[in-house]
Amino acid sequence: MVNHNLSTAAGKVILLGEHAVVYGRPAIAVPVSDVRATVEVTPRSPGSGVLIVAEDINQSYRLDEACESDSARALQTTMRNTLQHLGIRAEDQALRVVVRSQIPIARGMGSGTAIATALVRALAEYFGRHLISQTISDLVYQIEIIFHGTPSGIDNTVVAFEEPVYFVKGQRADIFWVSEPFTLLIADTGIPSKTRAAVEDVRRRWLADRLRYEALFDEIGVIADSGKQAIAAGRIDELGQLMSRNQSLLRELGVSCQELELLYLAALDAGAKGAKLSGGGQGGCLIALVDKQTQDEVASALRAAGASPVISTVVR
């Protein structure tokens, strides 16, 4: 056991395929390594128990305390599951666990997933244990259920491995080669994206009209497959076209909103190669594919259209 440990995990965005991925179609997710969650574990005096400090929201609570908020319960459950996996009795521990995150909350960027991933890593390292990325992903997936109800598993996979992932629920999660690095701008609408609510809304509409929604999911899945091929071959212009086509289908699914559409039009008008919402939708973030020539102009246009902040990340 070490006396101090600090671990981090990246954010993420869904590049292609959200919502359809819940219904067995492929999706692509990429890490956003420029923004990170950090967890620091330090010892407390013996017998004082485990204190979790969520520094960004100025909250603290004990591991054995009954909490109502999803975020608090998710952290507590992550700790218990990880300690159990490590064969360590939670009741015997005296730890201070400080959680910080640069990742915007409830914006489809995997803030909760990144925090959970960093927590698993920090606890394992604190107790001198090494966990492979797949084990970390599996532990975090248990927490995804608290946040998303019926999670696909893509978030925990891309965050734990911190590599671009081609994902089919229950079948495969393939890390794949990026032939030519590309730049995404991530524009925040300022509206929380409640992934669980959006997934449930789509499910209700799917139950009411399965034929139409299965056809939409099929088309989104084809786009994700084409996107993987475009990325592997360095066809960045084609990737942009696929992103915009994906957005039109997400619009048909009913998960876009006026604020996202304004950012979408602003990005394309300013020269983006393509753009789409990312994640649950109904708020959250829009992602835009840009190059060096258009990056600054598109970022300015997104800010003028109401985005705050605009994050730039290079996918390699």
Regarding whether 149 and 196 lie in a shared domain, the answer is no
Regarding whether 310 and 243 lie in a shared domain, the answer is yes
Split into its structural domains, the chain has a count of 2
pTM recorded for the entire structure: 0.90
Domain ranges, residue 263: 182-315
Regarding whether 159 and 24 lie in a shared domain, the answer is yes
Of 175, 207, 228, the domain-final residue:
175
Of 175, 208, 243, the domain-final residue:
175
Report the SS3 class of residue 210: helix
Report the SS3 class of residue 213: helix
Regarding whether 65 and 150 lie in a shared domain, the answer is yes
DSSP 104: P
Regarding whether 204 and 92 lie in a shared domain, the answer is no
Identify the CA nearest to 233 among candidates 175, 292, 178.
178
Kindly give the confidence (pLDDT) of every residue in the chain, 316 residues in length, as a single tens digit, with 9 standing for 90 and above.
656 689 999 999 999 999 999 999 999 999 999 999 999 999 999 999 999 999 988 899 999 999 988 889 989 999 999 999 999 999 999 999 999 999 988 788 989 899 999 999 999 999 999 999 999 999 999 888 776 666 778 889 999 999 999 999 888 889 888 999 999 999 999 999 888 899 999 999 999 999 999 999 999 999 999 999 999 999 999 999 999 999 999 999 999 999 999 999 999 999 999 999 999 999 999 999 999 999 999 999 999 999 999 999 999 9
CATH code, domain carrying 231:
3.30.70.890
Of 123, 142, 175, the domain-final residue:
175
Regarding whether 209 and 259 lie in a shared domain, the answer is yes
Alpha-carbon gap, residue 86 to 4, rounded angstroms: 18
Identify the CA nearest to 159 among candidates 108, 198, 208.
108
